[in-house]
Amino acid sequence: MTAEVAKTEQVRALSLSTLAFTVCFAVWTIFSIIGVQIKQNLGLSDTQFGLLAGTPILTGSLIRIFLGIWTDQYGGRVVYACVMLAAALATYLLTNAETYPQFLVAALGVGIAGGSFAVGVAYVSKFFATKSQGTALGIFGAGNIGAAVTKFCAPFVMVAYGWQTVAQVWAGALVVMALLFLAFSKDDPDLKHRRVHGLKAKGTWLQMQPLKNLQVWRFSLYYFFVFGAFVALSLWLPHYLMGAYSLDIKTAGMIAAAYSVPASLFRVVGGWLSDRVGARLVMYVTFLVSVICCFLLSYPSTHYVVEGTDGPIEFTLRMTLPVFMVLIFTLGFFMSLGKAAVYKHIPVYYPTHVGAVGGLVGMMGGLGGFVLPFAFGVLRDMTHIWTSCFMLLFVLVSTALIWMHVSIIMIERKRHPELREMKFFPELEKKMGGSA
């Protein structure tokens, strides 16, 4: 294979996979818009809405590990197309649902579209050398912008023609994309090599061996926040903006879409930075900025009464919409950097198990997209405070930052014996052992 042909195949694989992931992600987050209308039609509580919006995320998360393994075994070209066709059928059948349980079942089928991420990571990574995988996977991950596509377009289609038309059009787009992918994509180099030499792919059990490493689960927690919280906010923001700031669905959808754009496109920058300055530094900056943003966003509107020298002084602290937008866009931007940095680690540490490890990490991130909207709804119903969702995110990202820092200290002590006498978190380090 010549360098020119290799470059051509790289561009083809990356561009088709990114476009396909964009369409899949648009379908995967469809309930962020049509769910608002369904909530009104069925008279759902915030908890029920959060469960409905997050249910597709559950399916797309749980199947990722298996789809990643199957991609390593059978090739991404066929697996990717099958995922899109199955999701298209489920999305079209969604229009027949009438009751809340029926919508939940249909949402499980729609969630198949989310499994495309594990397929794309395993497929794309095989076309690129280690030194450029961060950039390549960052470009692929920018397909998250599909969430913005849904928020930009779906409100106008829904207002004009109803939520059923949105589901039908999005299902049609998946079918078209699946056919284009089959027609123009090529098998990955590993699959071609096995076919030429008559080699068999590793069995499912061998593919899953690295999953017992604590490091893999640490990466999963990182992704639970940077990706899971991104998906959760993509689903929750339209509803949040309508409730907290009394916006209509079109305006709320546009603002939520504007959040999704930087949280998607700048994933490319995150991959590029990870290749050049290191994924560890990118993760540190991501978590530190996210802690600050989540803390500020979690502060609820508060009315104060202060005893002044001439009597009580009353004032209210409330985050205005412009300030909220600045903070949420900043959070989305650094989440996008972190998403790319997490996946930069995987081909480096587990080059022969990208499908399994990437599938598990993607599964845990996706589970964040399922668990968090439901948790947001529960917290909203329990506390009656809109900003309670950001309180939860503050705790989550703080935990991830602490675990990462402790693990890195332990790694550095192994490399540099002179650091072993330094004790930062002795009790935590004792429980974690040496598996940083």
> In this predicted structure, which of 108-122, 163-177, 272-286, 406-420 has the lowest mean pLDDT?
406-420
> In this predicted structure, which of 151-160, 217-226, 421-430 has the lowest mean pLDDT?
421-430
Nearest to 223 by CA among 120, 346, 355, 130: 346
Q: How confident is the model at residue 193, as a pLDDT?
A: 62
Question: Tens digit of pLDDT for each residue in 143-182?
Answer: 878 888 888 889 889 989 999 999 999 999 999 999 999 9
Q: Return the biggest CA–CA distance within the chain.
A: 89
CA 277 to each of CA 243, 268, 271, 291, 363: distance values in angstroms, whole numbers, following the listed order: 41, 14, 10, 22, 27
Q: What is the mean pLDDT of the chain?
A: 82
Cβ atoms of residues 356 and 216 within 8 Å: no
Q: How confident is the model at residue 295, as a pLDDT?
A: 93
Check residues 433 and 386 and name the one with the higher pLDDT. 386
The number of residues in the chain equals 436
Grouping H, G, I as helix, E, B as strand and the rest as coil, residue 362 is helix
Q: How confident is the model at residue 196, as a pLDDT?
A: 62
Question: Tens digit of pLDDT for each residue in 36-63?
Answer: 889 889 998 888 888 888 888 888 888 8
Q: How confident is the model at residue 435, as a pLDDT?
A: 38
Instruction: Look at residue 432 and tell me whether its pLDDT is greater than 60.
Output: no
Q: What percent of the chain has pLDDT over 90?
A: 27
Write down the pTM of the prediction: 0.68
Using CA atoms in the order 247, 253, 259, 261, what is the torsion angle rounded to 10 degrees?
-160
Q: What kind of fold does domain 3-432 have according to CATH?
A: Growth Hormone; Chain: A; (1.20.1250)
